[in-house]
Chain A
């Protein structure tokens, strides 16, 4: 991944938070809502975008008669996230000379 190849998924802080959180394991909609502090509609649209791009998978079900949406990171999402973290690391450390080098 190059600097000019940053996927749209990582350009929004909420989406970045969602992907980072899901990197740890699946979470449901309520957990993500609490984590991001976003409203239902806002979170729903960000999740839909991530699903559309193939980064996140969602499973909708009913628990105790109430709807429940569980989200998890797809293999592509995981791979892209790891690449993005590597890219961030490269940008932050850019220009830093290795130790001992004059």
Chain B
């Protein structure tokens, strides 16, 4: 047995406080979940480029297509050779993404003994992603072989949104507002300020798409879709890294 002085007691209180802070919101589980989702989403988004490449007419390049659609300038993406293959691309990628989401849920919940709130948060994120995937899947019928340019651009925007002028903007709004909500819920659960800032960012993006006439802004809708879509994996990864950093600082 050993006696304890006051300064040692204070030190021990700090150790306890930091350990409890680090585990009270199950930071370890949350970090893993966010990193996992970042990878899944990134794979789904990157995978959407493959069907687009497969559907390109002979002689076209992704660079020239994006240029024609106003998504990029010719200084941004140089010409990429096309593949000229005939496969049913879009729906398969979406179904694969959804299956991956369900299987990942099963694996994570089996492996992780995470606390109830972490599971609830995970379910909220999962629901949001699946609803967005499902919305996109329902709006676009399966397509086979070389497609018109509009179909190719739709495939480029997989898995969350479509390029269709009539439905695309609604879907972007839904995408922005739903992720704003999920990020806000994350703040409620975890008190992570960064998630709050990102929630506001998505809310503003959604409001811009909803209320500002796109043609007045001289920005093509595709440009907004493209940016909103590609930022998501980085949002989730940023949250995960933030949790990791916070976890490291706390102990």
**Is A75's beta carbon under 8 Å from chain B?**
no
In the complex, per-residue mask of B130-154: 1 if CB is within 8 Å of any chain A CB, else 0? 0000000000000000000000000
Q: Are A16 and B16 within 8 A (Cβ)? A: yes
Which positions 2-32 of chain A face chain B at CB distance < 8 Å?
A: 3-7, 10-11, 13, 16-18, 20-21, 23-28, 31
CA–CA, A23 and B18, complex, Å: 13
**Is A48's beta carbon under 8 Å from chain B?**
no
Q: Which residues of B contact A17 (CB under 8 A)?
A: 15, 18-19, 251
Q: Are A27 and B23 within 8 A (Cβ)? A: yes
**Is B215's beta carbon under 8 Å from chain A?**
no
* Choice from A24, A68, A70 contacting B23 with Cβ under 8 Å: A24
**Is B22's beta carbon under 8 Å from chain A?**
yes
Q: Are A35 and B247 within 8 A (Cβ)? A: yes
Q: Count CB-based A-B contacts (< 8 Å).
A: 85
Q: Which residues of B contact A18 (CB under 8 A)?
A: 19
Total number of B residues with any Cβ neighbor in A under 8 Å: 28
Q: Are A10 and B20 within 8 A (Cβ)? A: no
**Is A99's beta carbon under 8 Å from chain B?**
no
Which positions 1-27 of chain B face chain A at CB distance < 8 Å?
A: 1-6, 9-10, 12-13, 15-16, 18-20, 22-24, 26
- A37 nearest CB neighbor, chain B only: B251
CA–CA, A11 and B5, complex, Å: 12
**Is B128's beta carbon under 8 Å from chain A?**
no
- CB B97 to nearest CB in A, in angstroms, measures 22
In the complex, identify which listed stretch (B77-85, B107-115, B205-213) lies at the interface while the others stay far away. B107-115
- B6 nearest CB neighbor, chain A only: A91
**Is B200's beta carbon under 8 Å from chain A?**
no
CA–CA, A74 and B2, complex, Å: 23
Q: Are A34 and B28 within 8 A (Cβ)? A: yes
Q: Which residues of A contact B29 (CB under 8 A)?
A: 31
Q: Are A21 and B23 within 8 A (Cβ)? A: yes
Q: Are B13 and A35 within 8 A (Cβ)? A: no
Q: Which residues of A contact B2 (CB under 8 A)?
A: 4, 6, 11
Q: Are B6 and A20 within 8 A (Cβ)? A: no
28 contacts between A and B (CB under 8 A): A3-B3, A4-B1, A4-B3, A6-B3, A7-B1, A11-B2, A16-B15, A16-B16, A17-B251, A20-B15, A20-B20, A21-B19, A24-B24, A27-B23, A27-B28, A35-B19, A35-B22, A35-B251, A37-B251, A63-B111, A64-B111, A68-B111, A70-B113, A85-B16, A87-B9, A91-B4, A92-B6, A94-B6
* Additional A-B contacts beyond A23-B20, A35-B28 (7; CB < 8 A): A4-B2, A6-B3, A16-B19, A37-B251, A68-B111, A85-B13, A88-B4
